[in-house]
Structure 1
Amino acid sequence: PETCTVSKNVPMIFEKPVGLVSSCTLYHDKGPEPWLRKTSTDAWLSTGVSEAVVGSDGPLHDQGDIYCIICYESGTLEFYEVPGFKCVFTVDKFASGISHLVDACVRETTHNLQNVKDGDEQVKETVQNIKVMELSMHKWAGQHACPFLFAILTDGTVLCYHAYLYEGHENTRKTDGQFSTDIEVDVGSISTSRLRNLRFVRVFLESLTREESSGGKFSQRITVFKNIGGCQGLFLAGSRPAWFMVCRERLRIHPQ
């Protein structure tokens, strides 16, 4: 009989972990034009045309990229490229439910640091006992579709974020509206593959999606679907289940 050899390789980042992992998920950024690749620091090197890979069965299209998304008990969220497990996106205090997610390598300028420092203690006190128990990221079909990121916390809160591509000046970043802030980028310290132009904006959901955990027991609640009666979205299980329908890049919640 034929033999099969299985090898196990522990990525270097997990040899000396920075903390315990509370939740993780995989995200397939499908080709032929992977969306997250456009937010990379070196995206300008791309010609915008995917090159076909010639195999034994003829030309093969770009199958896209795979990312491992990890959230630690400390509340830090990180995106890792697979299989190299190189960190390309980091967010601190993710469990606090901040309004915008920006890579930690993009730092605010000095005149905004005081406001961040003043809020640190309040945020730390709020999230010290709250952890992310489930993560899910998906991009549904559509001409201008962008990925959604979902997270369920131990207190039953469901966080929802919608990704978008941010293009600004080389050394300064700004966000619009009441969250407007000057952001300074240390270009020399950023890897050429970091998702520096990736942003997420929080989509606030109705309180009906919140469900208190029972006795510390946890079971998967998020199920993504692509075509149920011609609709696409996700189903949120629990004592108060709900259907999340995606229509024109907006979520419509239908309690069951």
Structure 2
Amino acid sequence: MTAEYVDPLPIVWDPEAAIGEMLKGKKGLVVGIANDQSIAYGCAHKLRAFGAELAVTWLNEKAEQHVRPHAEALGATIMGPMDVMKPGELENLFERIAREWGRLDFLIHAIAFAPREDLHGRVVDCSWEGFAQAMHVSCWSFIRMCKLAEPLMTDGGVAITMSYYGADKVVNRYNLMGPVKAALEASVRYVAAELGPQGIRVFAVSPGPLKTRASSGISHFDELVQMAQERAPAQRLVDIAEVGRVVAFLVGGASSGMTGDTIYVDGGLHNMA
């Protein structure tokens, strides 16, 4: 007689509660919160709600007044300024994490920048200085964070950065950030391959257009928003909480069989011709 199969899941299953169980006790760094509309804030809010302990940074003294209250509300146990363009600040941050936590389970990289004149012009017209700065802040800083996180992720870990559909397809007015984000997505694949033997998984998350402070720098951004709403199968924009839930899933153990991928959270927009 065949033994009766017993479903190990309860009849009513709460996926958010399941994620929360996986994140209790996890310690992670979130870089890129500008205000409570930031993608980074949506990620931090969900990660904290699911039980993770956070380290939060802000760019400079001017940004502190906008970010510190949110960091405190999130119960961040490590917080402070960190500008990736200033030599030593990134290294000092990871030294502090090593000193106070002794380990790191995940990092969320949600920063990008290009000088306005280079971002608003044609790619072929961009300056070397603008291109180099965009690559430094938006791409190289993620590679460097992964390098610094590697010795702290002794039991494995997860590193996540933020990309956009314009990395894969030409998006009108996305301009210089297209090649920069393409380099970022390629870096994710290579870093995933290099750090995989240490149990470190690496992802790019690609949200649809979101009305954030960072996106306001893109010329005619409202046109991108309108296009997304009209063309996406969901016919709406995603929100930062939806992005945060996907990030929490990737950080949690349920995604253990995944790495090196770009994960779209855009209501299906990237599938449309």
Shorter-normalised TM-score: what interval?
under 0.3
Bigger RCO of structures 1 and 2 (CA < 8 A, at least 6 apart)? 2
More strand by share: 1
More helix by share: 2
Normalised by the size of structure 1, how large is the TM-score?
0.27
Normalised by the size of structure 2, how large is the TM-score?
0.26
